[in-house]
């Protein structure tokens, strides 16, 4: 009987995956490099604003819907008009995927690490 209980406990502990809640993730994140700056705002209603700057100038920005999938945060930029797509601040990467670190205190995409403020 104890063996069965132990097997069930081990199974439950190893099969559970971390799910980050909306409450945990919402807020402002930013990262400053030597010359680059990344800012992300995650709102309660699952909308976001993501911007990238360089030497205090806006390079690219987008807004849209965010969702979390276990240990990842997915940003899906809304579709823009043809003219908006020709703007010099148009973000070409319309789907951004961040790894959630430190219980939602940090987000990582490649070499970029955003810290919750």
Q: Give the CATH number for residue 106.
A: 2.40.128.360
pLDDT beyond 50 at 18: no
Residue 3 lies inside a defined structural domain of this protein: no
The domain containing residue 86 runs over which residues?
Answer: 19-116
Strand blocks (E) in 15-83? 27-32, 36-42, 47-54, 57-69, 72-77
Give the closest residue to 49 by CA, choosing from 34, 35, 64: 64
Domain count within the chain: 1
Percent of the chain with pLDDT over 90: 52
Residue 100 lies inside a defined structural domain of this protein: yes
DSSP 43: -
Parallel, antiparallel or unpaired: strands 27-32 and 47-54: unpaired
Beta bridge partners of 27: 42
Residue 13 lies inside a defined structural domain of this protein: no
Beta bridge partners of 91: none
pTM over 0.95: no
pLDDT score recorded for residue 55: 83
Residue 7 lies inside a defined structural domain of this protein: no
Residue 86 lies inside a defined structural domain of this protein: yes
Percent of the chain with pLDDT over 70: 76
pLDDT score recorded for residue 17: 45
Confidence of residue 104 (pLDDT cuts 50, 70, 90): very high
Residue 55 lies inside a defined structural domain of this protein: yes
Instruction: Work out the mean pLDDT of the chain and round it to a whole number.
Output: 83
The predicted-structure confidence for 70-94, as pLDDT tens digits, reads as follows 899 999 999 877 766 667 677 888 9
Residue 8 lies inside a defined structural domain of this protein: no
């Amino acid at each position: 009987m104890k063996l069965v209980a132990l097997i069930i406990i081990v199974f439950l502990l190893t099969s559970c995956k971390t799910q980050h809640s909306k409450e945990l993730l919402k807020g402002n994140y930013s990262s400053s490099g030597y010359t680059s700056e990344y800012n992300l705002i995650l709102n309660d209603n699952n909308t976001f604003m993501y911007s990238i700057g360089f030497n205090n100038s806006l390079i690219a920005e987008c807004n849209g819907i965010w969702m979390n999938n276990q240990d990842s945060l997915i940003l899906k930029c809304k579709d823009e008009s043809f003219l908006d797509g020709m703007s010099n601040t148009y973000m070409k990467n319309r789907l951004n995927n961040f790894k959630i670190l430190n219980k939602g205190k940090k987000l990582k995409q490649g070499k970029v690490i955003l810290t919750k403020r």
